[in-house]
Amino acid sequence: MSLLLENVKKSYREPDGSTLPILDIERFEIKDREQVVLIGESGSGKSTLLNVISGITSVDSGKITIAGTEIASMAEVVRDQFRAERIGFVFQTFNLLPAFSALENVLLGMSFSRKKPSRDRAKELLVLVGLEHRLHHHPKQMSVGEQQRVAVARALANQPRLLLADEPTANVDIANQETILELLRDACNQNQIAMLLVTHSQEVAKQFERVETLTEFNKVHARA
Ligand SMILES: Nc1ncnc2c1ncn2[C@@H]1O[C@H](COP(=O)(O)OP(=O)(O)OP(=O)(O)O)[C@@H](O)[C@H]1O
């Protein structure tokens, strides 16, 4: 299996000092190569779930196993390394660095892994997403669809086992939405990557076989 959450609990500390429970998940599994869409009301904890899976946010308790490795109990520095090498991310807002070209953004994605960044591989990835003519453009010189394609190339840079996508098509038009989804799905299929994709769009969700609603497997109720 690619991902297994067991008895995962996460709460935040409110400004008044009280505790705000967000996640209480007994079991959630994504099998190898499975592509899963996650939907749920605003504020129900979807981004928090992606953040605990990636190890950006620590859990209060529970186990998170990714490709056979339990990450919740790892020291932070080890978890950061694991994240860099095993998990790819695509965000709603792309998160590209504005001072760097498309090629440099992909190379930067590689620099967090222990492997040596390869310009050839970075170029190959940009060609794969159809941006061979945009290698040296900076984010502000590219359309939003192109920027998101750079983000997809960056997410694939370290050959991840799991791809986490947080509303990757929310800021692109319909034509680009299709392109981005196709790229993500093809890349996952071809490279045996499992994917968890958060979306608010029914259009996007209906293209996937497995659609999970967070409030149905999270014992903490939505706050929306
Ligand atoms: N660092 C934080 N500290 C305190 N509360 C937080 C923090 N991050 C998120 N929250 C709260 O946790 C809840 C879940 O937030 P989260 O962003 O995970 O929801 P979401 O389902 O992704 O929402 P949306 O669909 O609107 O993006 C929200 O009520 C939010 O205000």
Residues 197 and 35: beta-carbon distance below 8 Å: yes
Spell out a b/e string for 8-19, using b for 16 or more CB atoms within 10 Å of the CB, else e: bbbbeeeeeeee
The SS3 assignment for 108 reads helix
C-beta 46 within 6 A of ligand 1 = yes
C-beta 58 within 6 A of ligand 1 = no
C-beta 92 within 6 A of ligand 1 = no
User: What's the confidence (pLDDT) of residue 116?
Assistant: 86
| Position in ligand 1 atom list of the atom nearest CA 13 | 4
First-to-last CA distance in the chain?
A: 32
Residue identifier of the C-alpha nearest atom 24 of ligand 1: 42
Residues 199 and 37: beta-carbon distance below 8 Å: yes
Residues 158 and 193: beta-carbon distance below 8 Å: no
Which of 9, 13, 22 has the most ligand 1 atoms within 8 A of CB, as the residue to mutate? Answer: 22
Amino acid making up residue 163: L
C-beta 18 within 6 A of ligand 1 = no
CA of 44 to the centre of ligand 1 (A): 7
Which of 20, 23, 204, 218 has the most ligand 1 atoms within 8 A of CB, as the residue to mutate? Answer: 20
Beta-bridge partner residues of 36: 196, 210
CA of 137 to the centre of ligand 1 (A): 34
Ranges of residues in the chain whose predicted pLDDT is under 70: 221-224
| Number of other residues whose CB lies within 10 A of the CB of residue 136 | 10
Residue identifier of the C-alpha nearest atom 5 of ligand 1: 12
Residues 53 and 67: beta-carbon distance below 8 Å: no
**pLDDT tens-digit series, residues 23-79:** 999 999 999 999 999 999 999 999 999 999 999 999 999 999 999 999 999 998 899
How many whole angstroms separate alpha carbon 63 and alpha carbon 72? 6
Tally the residues of the chain. 224
- CATH number attached to the domain at 30-61+73-216: 3.40.50.300
Beta-bridge partner residues of 9: 24, 61
CA of 90 to the centre of ligand 1 (A): 18
The SS3 assignment for 115 reads coil
C-beta 22 within 6 A of ligand 1 = yes
Amino acid making up residue 184: L
User: What's the confidence (pLDDT) of residue 176?
Assistant: 87
